[in-house]
Amino acid sequence: MNNPMILVIERNELHHKLIHEALSENYSLVYIKDSSELAHKAMDKPRLILLNLYQAQYKHDHSLDWIQSECNGRVPVLFILEKHSPLLIQKAFELGAQDVLVFPTTHEYIKRRVDGQFQLNGLKSMLNVQQRTGQDNWSIMDRYLPFLFINLKGEINFFSDALSQALSVNKNSILGVSFIQFAQRHSANVDFEEFFDKSWYEQFMEIPKEEQHWVIRDQNAEGDQNWYRLTLVPRYDGFNIWVGFSLFYQNINDTIKLKSLAEKDALTKIANRLTLNQTLQSEIDRANRIRDTFSVIMFDIDNFKEVNDCYGHLVGDQVLTELTKIISLNSRKIDVFGRWGGEEFMVICPHTNERGAVVLAEKYKQVISKQKFSTVDQLSCSFGVSEYPLDTDANMVIDHADRALYRAKDGGRNRVEYFSRYEYL
C-alpha cells in the first residue's frame, strides 16, 4: 500500500531535513521550494500540505492560491512558523491553517502533529459517511416505513410519506394536530383516550416507558378497510431525555384474513366448530377456577332436509345465512354464537344458568317464527339447553344439550327443552 502523500512547500533545507527524518518512514514526501515548482512536481493531490507561513504571505509566491483553487479547501494545511509568536499563530489560522508546526522542534513533535492530523481527518471522513448514510436511511424510512412522532403535548410533529399514502391523508394537514383527534378518524375499533387521557404525560413520567401495542381498523376516503398493528415506542434525544413517542403502523390485513379463515365458518362468517370448542374449554377453566357457571344452547332448523330437497342447496345456504344474521342481532355481547355443523348451531352463554339460557332460547324461537325468509317464507327451530356441571368436561355439557335438543324434536319441534342438572345428579 502506498504511503499518504505530504506536500512540503518550504525553502529552508534544515526544515526539510527534520521533516524527512520524522515522517519519511510512514509518508511519501514531495518537497517544493516555491510556487514555480508546483506545476510539474505536484501532479497528484496530496493528503496534507506543510506550508511556510512567510512564503504564504510573500506576494510573489502563489502557493496558497494554488492550494485554495486545486484542493477546494479539502486538503488540510499545517503552517510552518519560524518562531513561536501568538500573532503569527493567529495569522496562520486566519489563512486557513488546521494546525501549526513551530520550529525549531523535535522529530517526535513533528510526527505527533502530523499523525494527529491524519487521525482527525479519518474521523471527519467517517462522520461524513455516517451522516450521509443516516440521511439516506432516514429518506428510506420516510418513504417506505409508515410511522409518526408524537411530542410531549400529545401532538403529531412528524408524519412519514409512507403513512400518508397508507391512510390517504395529507401529511401537512396532520402536523400539529392532537393525536387523539387524528386517532378518532383513523382507528375505528380502538379508543385511545383511555391511554392518552389528560394525565398521560404525568403517567409516563412516573412509570417505565415500555412499548404499547394495539390492533386497529382504518377506513380510508375510498371506503377501503385496513387492519394495522400499532407499536408505540418512547423517543429520546441525544442526551437520553424523553421527548415523546414514535408510533409505527404495520399492515396486518393478510394476518387478519388468515385468522378469520381459521376461526370463522366460511358460509355464515360466524364462529366455526374449532372456535366453539376453544371457547368451551376457556369457559370450563374459568367456571372451575372461580366456581361460576355457564350454559350452552344447541339448536337446528326443523325439516331442513326438505328445504334442500325442494329448493336446492343454494337456497339452503341462503336460509343458513339469513338465520345467522337473525340470531347475531338478538344475541348478547358476551355470548359466542357459532355453527356446529350442517344446520346445527351453538350459543355459549357465559355467567348464565339454565333458567337464563332457556329465556334466551325462547327469545330466539319467537324471533325466528315471526321472520319471513327469502324463498321459503316461514321456518322454525328446536332448542336444547344445558348448564355446565362443575368439574366435568366439554363432552358432558354438549351431550346434555344434545339430549335436550332431541327431546325438543321428539316433542313436536319448534320448542325449547333443557337438560336439568337434577337429571345429571
Q: Supply the CATH classification number for the domain 5-125.
A: 3.40.50.2300
The domain segmentation of the chain, as residue ranges, is 5-125, 145-257, 264-424
- Reported confidence tier of residue 320, pLDDT bands at 50, 70, 90: very high
- Residue 253 pLDDT > 90: no
The reported pLDDT for the residue numbered 70 is 65
- Reported confidence tier of residue 198, pLDDT bands at 50, 70, 90: very low
Lowest mean pLDDT among 124-128, 167-171, 372-376, 398-402: 124-128
- Residue 407 pLDDT > 70: yes
- Reported confidence tier of residue 207, pLDDT bands at 50, 70, 90: very low
- Residue 145 pLDDT > 50: yes
- Residue 409 pLDDT > 80: yes
- Residue 416 pLDDT > 90: yes
- Residue 359 pLDDT > 80: yes
Domain 145-257, architecture per CATH: 2-Layer Sandwich (3.30)
- Residue 113 pLDDT > 80: yes
- Residue 85 pLDDT > 70: yes
The reported pLDDT for the residue numbered 425 is 45
Average pLDDT over residues 318-332: 95
Tell which CATH classification among 3.30.70.560, 2.40.110.10, 3.30.70.270, 3.20.20.70 matches the domain 264-424.
3.30.70.270
The reported pLDDT for the residue numbered 60 is 62
SS (H, E, C) the chain: CCCCEEEEECCCHHHHHHHHHHHCCCCEEEEECCHHHHHHHCCCCCCEEEEEHHHHHCCCCCHHHHHHHHCCCCCCEEEEECCCCHHHHHHHHHCCCCEEEECCCCHHHHHHHHHHHHHHHHHHHHHHHHHHHHHHHHHHHHHHCCEEEEECCCEEEEECHHHHHHHCCCHHHHCCCEHHHHHHHHCCCCCHHHCCCCCHHHHHHHCCCCCEEEEEEEECCCCCEEEEEEEEEEEECCCCCEEEEEEEEEECHHHHHHHHHHHECCCCCCECHHHHHHHHHHHHHHHHHHCCCEEEEEEEECCHHHHHHHHCHHHHHHHHHHHHHHHHHCCCCCCEEEEEECCEEEEEEECCCHHHHHHHHHHHHHHHHHCCECCCECCCEEEEEEECCCCCCHHHHHHHHHHHHHHHHHCCCCCEEEECHHHHC
